Structure 1
Amino acid sequence: MRSPALDTYFAYTANLGTHTFFMVFLPVQFWCGYTSLGRATVFMLAAGIYWSGFLKDMLCLPRPLSPPLARISMSGSAALEYGFPSSHSTNAVSVTFYAIYMIRQSDEYSSTVNIGLQALFYLYAVSIIVGRLYCGMHGFLDVLVGSTLGALITVFQLVFSDWIDSWIFSGTYKDLIIATLVVFVLVRIHPEPADDCPCFDDSVAFSGVVVGINIGAWHYAQSGFAVNDLYPSTVPFELAQLGLPKAIIRTLLGVVIIFVWRATAKLTLFKILPPLFRLLERGRMNLPRAFFLNASSYTSIPNMRDDDNVIPPASQLPQMLKNLAHPRKRSVSVGPQSASDAYETLAYRNRRRRESVTSADGTVLEDLEWSSTPPSQAVAPAVERGQPLLGTGMLPTPMASRIHSYEQMMGTGNIKTLDGKMETPPDSDTDLAGDATLKSEEENEKRELFMKLTKPRVRYDVEVVTKLIVYSGIGWFAVGLDPIIFELVGLGIGIRP
């Protein structure tokens, strides 16, 4: 079923369901006057990332086992997350359902254009969902539950969005504080996973964006620069009046401002927060989290690369564009990529080791038997200990060939015996030495397997608060400050308070 064309297609379309893709294009919706659409998209994506990550870290269910599957991905961090549910499917379905609903409610387009736009969004969702299966990143249950979660988020947005927006825009700063505290509580109750998983980082980033756009929209609506007739805090934008060159320049300016804020705020907070966290830790007021290093355990934070899965540093943008332009930059990997993958592989090997012991005692495993007869006619005969299995040396059945290939990739776990014989001790005899040897072999096997994994980077406790503040600032700049800057530097349509 696999082909180079499908590999490339699904690897590229998977990028259309990532956090980075949406975070890059979300500010443009606000700057072009589509405030209602922008807020809806942010809230749905934030809810999808948070609740899918919540379930991932709470259930800790791994991705489909590799091998036998080959995983195709252009993202280095995607395979480090758990598999259930699929956040790509959640994002794709929520955005698609909302867009199709809005298209059907609009009479702005002709029937042909209307149907064409709907078909385009359906193709987008199907490509993302089927692509997660094709690329070996998720199973059927993962994408089914992820898609259902996305549909529920869309329904919630359509039912409650007007009430929430009315509460935010018509309220005072106290209502903003309440909304912000609700988001902080959700961040705090996010489950701690069994392994080091980046889901929490993504949830924190989008939670910060929600806080930022609420504060920014409330501030911008009262600034006098916004158009509040159709929808509060709408950015005034007329392409015919502004012109395409100015529209492009102001978009580039807005993106530059966001990257400058991200870089400067992050460095500043990494200097300011560690001493404060050490004081809180001495007073036992800190909130430790698994896999994050407490401030008392380090003196400074070094410059880190690949510490952000949502918006990368500006220095990495050229390499990202180069990767997208080069078809060979997609990664096809076979084998464990995360700690959960490694544990699944070890569990499989231990199970095969136990089955091998059972087989050596005289029980023939039906699914591994070599046979020249169809399965319906095959009968497992009694086998005396030490006799070769019936069918040894014959051509394997197709099922046995697949299993044999799978065993070669996965490993079966070695069974150590003396002189080729396995002795069965009396019931009253406990082979402590044998148990110790077996445990030692299992530990060596575990150590060898984990050495092949990419070692997780050191994560610092201040990163959580830093990410919240940085992404809150990104939301605030995108919605509340950049539009004012556009007007002040002559890239607006001339609205003044």
Structure 2
Amino acid sequence: MVILPALIFFGYGSIGRGLPMVLALGVYMASFIKDSVCSPRPFAPPVTRLTIGNHHLEYGFPSTHSANSVSIALFFYSLLQHAYVTPSSARFPVFNVMYSSTHSALEHMSATPGVDTMVSDTTYRVLSGVLLFYVFSIVYGRLYTGMHSFTDCAVGVLLGVGVWAFDQLFSGWLHVWVRDSGWIVPAVTIPLCLLSVHWHPQPIDDCPCFEDAIAFISVVLGEILSRWYMLHNGYGDEYFVHVMPGSPWGSWLDTLTWWTVAVAKMTVGILIIFIWRIFAKNMSHFVLPPLFRLLSHAFTLPHRRFYTPATDYKNVPPETGLHPIPSVIDLPGMMEMETDGGGASGVRGLRYDNIYEKEEYPVDLDEENGEKQDIVKHYDADVLTKVIVYCGIGLLACGVIPVMFEALGWGVQWS
């Protein structure tokens, strides 16, 4: 919601577009396998859980955190390696060549010995160590906290490597296809996104990773559609010629000007995204349920387990489904429950008779402050609502808002 749009707002569009692609592939593939295998998390690891969020509701195999940490680290290591072998006198910015073909990228990565490069040896080693520590801390942390087994993390690491390799091989081809193709791009990508939602396995128990997968692939859909429209309507790289006013490290006036524009860009950009979330969510919840009920008279609509069909309710309650604006204030009450002991097993092992063993828990994980909590209900309109909302976020962050900044003279290039 903030970091990825900021990359695009400040001229690192190729990173802001490439990183969600890697994340989406990792999250979708991991959740697909999780809901197919339905392997529970470690039932009773030797740790005492102090707080419980919603991650315990997901299955354990494979580890999504491990997959994402590896793919992200390799993604940034590719950029670091490119900068390390690129002469500092090169005119092209290192972060804007991600969509070049693998062959041309390898040609650029032929550094001449003795020539200064964009990244020094010391910086290269330090940043490589930081990326390595990042991966180790995430993977080891999943084991240490008892959220995953060694098998979960090992397969997650392999999945992350595979996702990164897939992106390296096909991101250039995807960009060429989007750039050179006509209406076939939306005609293929929109149904493919909807089919990815429909084909996602239905687990034995309600698993929240499905909604994460929907959000990520919808953002990628919006990014691809915005890229396609911009490249075919004169809003490509050649359109963004303005540089942000001022300088982040010039005189005090230049610095003040630059930071004022930067704050204005972030404020306006994120505000537009929040307004879109509110509008799209309310509009979808108003339009989709009666539309689904109307279509249900003509044919049988797809129905996902644990999601109430529109024929069984009149309106989606405003407090359920996609929250228009995530509230940090509500996080402790919504996401955490204090416990006095017990293991880190998934809630499915506590709600029902567990096939491995039975234990008496001092605090039921379905309770908070000693009171029974209502089971969260899902509605079929929430699924398509997420697709619409997050696809719109991708369109706005990658297309509409940067074009608006360029038209206002604020620019998306910061130096």
TM-score range for the pair, normalised by the shorter chain length: 0.7 to 0.9
Q: Distance in 1 between matches of 2:3 and 2:339?
A: 25
Distance 1:226-1:317 versus aligned 2 partners, 3 A rule: farther
The counterpart of 1:64, out of the listed 42, 45, 49, is 42
What is aligned with 2:396?
Answer: 477
After TM superposition, give the deviation of residue 281 of structure 1 in Å.
1.7
Distance 1:333-1:459 versus aligned 2 partners, 3 A rule: farther
**Paired residue type of 1:341:** G
Q: For 1:30-76, what per-residue CA distance to the aligned partner results, in whole angstroms no more than 9, with x for missing partners?
A: 11222222222111100111000001101111111136543466x72
What is aligned with 2:207?
Answer: 197
After TM superposition, give the deviation of residue 140 of structure 1 in Å.
0.9
What is aligned with 2:380?
Answer: 461
Superposed counterparts of 1:76-155, under 5 Å: 76-106=53-83, 107=86, 108-155=118-165
The counterpart of 1:289, out of the listed 301, 304, 311, is 304
Distance 1:216-1:235 versus aligned 2 partners, 3 A rule: farther
What is aligned with 1:208?
Answer: 218
- 1:53 is aligned to 2:31: yes
After TM superposition, give the deviation of residue 77 of structure 1 in Å.
1.6
**Paired residue type of 2:11:** G
After TM superposition, give the deviation of residue 239 of structure 1 in Å.
7.2
Q: Distance in 1 between matches of 2:270 and 2:401?
A: 9
What is aligned with 1:392?
Answer: none
- 1:314 is aligned to 2:316: no
After TM superposition, give the deviation of residue 285 of structure 1 in Å.
3.2
After TM superposition, give the deviation of residue 334 of structure 1 in Å.
2.6
Q: Does the 8 A contact of 1:86 with 1:138 survive in 2?
A: yes
**Paired residue type of 1:62:** P
What is aligned with 2:98?
Answer: none
Q: Distance in 1 between matches of 2:365 and 2:76?
A: 44
What is aligned with 1:272?
Answer: 287
What is aligned with 1:31?
Answer: 9
What is aligned with 2:198?
Answer: 188
Distance 1:329-1:104 versus aligned 2 partners, 3 A rule: farther
**Paired residue type of 1:349:** E
**Paired residue type of 1:26:** L
Q: Distance in 1 between matches of 2:291 and 2:195?
A: 21
Distance 1:203-1:184 versus aligned 2 partners, 3 A rule: same
Q: Distance in 2 between matches of 1:346 and 1:148?
A: 30
After TM superposition, give the deviation of residue 155 of structure 1 in Å.
0.6
After TM superposition, give the deviation of residue 349 of structure 1 in Å.
3.2
Q: What TM-score comes out, normalization by structure 2 length? A: 0.79
**Paired residue type of 1:195:** D
Q: Does the 8 A contact of 2:240 with 2:412 survive in 1?
A: no
Q: Does the 8 A contact of 1:295 with 1:461 survive in 2?
A: yes
Q: Does the 8 A contact of 1:53 with 1:200 survive in 2?
A: yes
After TM superposition, give the deviation of residue 279 of structure 1 in Å.
1.3
Extract unaligned runs of 5+ from structure 2: 87-117, 248-256
Instruction: State the SS of the aligned residue for 2:2.
Output: helix
Q: Distance in 2 between matches of 1:177 and 1:333?
A: 52
Superposed counterparts of 1:298-309, under 5 Å: 298-304=313-319, 307-308=321-322
Q: For 1:4-27, what per-residue CA distance to the aligned partner results, in whole angstroms no more than 9, with x for missing partners?
A: xxxxxxxxxxxxxxxxxxx43111
Q: Distance in 2 between matches of 1:336 and 1:133?
A: 11
Distance 1:300-1:221 versus aligned 2 partners, 3 A rule: same
The counterpart of 1:219, out of the listed 215, 220, 229, is 229
Superposed counterparts of 1:425-444, under 5 Å: none
Distance 1:209-1:137 versus aligned 2 partners, 3 A rule: same
After TM superposition, give the deviation of residue 180 of structure 1 in Å.
2.2
Extract unaligned runs of 5+ from structure 1: 1-22, 351-409, 413-447
Q: Distance in 2 between matches of 1:319 and 1:290?
A: 28
The counterpart of 1:171, out of the listed 181, 190, 193, is 181
After TM superposition, give the deviation of residue 132 of structure 1 in Å.
0.8
Q: Distance in 2 between matches of 1:217 and 1:190?
A: 26
Q: How many residues align?
A: 364
Instruction: State the SS of the aligned residue for 1:76.
Output: coil
Q: For 1:438-478, what per-residue CA distance to the aligned partner results, in whole angstroms no more than 9, with x for missing partners?
A: xxxxxxxxxx9786585431110111111101100000000
- Tell me which moved more, 28-37 or 450-459: 450-459
After TM superposition, give the deviation of residue 187 of structure 1 in Å.
1.5
**Paired residue type of 2:3:** F
Q: Does the 8 A contact of 2:63 with 2:153 survive in 1?
A: yes
Structure of larger gyration radius:
1
Q: Does the 8 A contact of 2:309 with 2:379 survive in 1?
A: yes
**Paired residue type of 1:84:** F
Q: Does the 8 A contact of 2:202 with 2:304 survive in 1?
A: yes
- Tell me which moved more, 177-186 or 121-130: 177-186
Q: Distance in 1 between matches of 2:314 and 2:304?
A: 19
Q: Distance in 2 between matches of 1:301 and 1:149?
A: 37
**Paired residue type of 1:316:** S
- 1:255 is aligned to 2:255: no
After TM superposition, give the deviation of residue 90 of structure 1 in Å.
0.8
Distance 1:266-1:298 versus aligned 2 partners, 3 A rule: same
Q: Distance in 2 between matches of 1:287 and 1:96?
A: 38
Q: Does the 8 A contact of 1:336 with 1:342 survive in 2?
A: no
Q: Distance in 1 between matches of 2:282 and 2:40?
A: 34
- 1:349 is aligned to 2:353: no
Q: Does the 8 A contact of 1:226 with 1:235 survive in 2?
A: no
Q: What TM-score comes out, normalization by structure 1 length? A: 0.67
Distance 1:216-1:330 versus aligned 2 partners, 3 A rule: farther
**Paired residue type of 2:227:** A
Q: For 1:321-369, what per-residue CA distance to the aligned partner results, in whole angstroms no more than 9, with x for missing partners?
A: x99xxxx99988635774432278622337xxxxxxxxxxxxxxxxxxx
Distance 1:127-1:152 versus aligned 2 partners, 3 A rule: same
Q: Distance in 1 between matches of 2:340 and 2:159?
A: 28
Q: Distance in 2 between matches of 1:32 and 1:212?
A: 19
After TM superposition, give the deviation of residue 99 of structure 1 in Å.
0.9
Q: For 1:394-453, what per-residue CA distance to the aligned partner results, in whole angstroms no more than 9, with x for missing partners?
A: xxxxxxxxxxxxxxxx359xxxxxxxxxxxxxxxxxxxxxxxxxxxxxxxxxxx978658
Aligned alpha-carbon RMSD (Å): 3.0
Distance 1:240-1:189 versus aligned 2 partners, 3 A rule: same
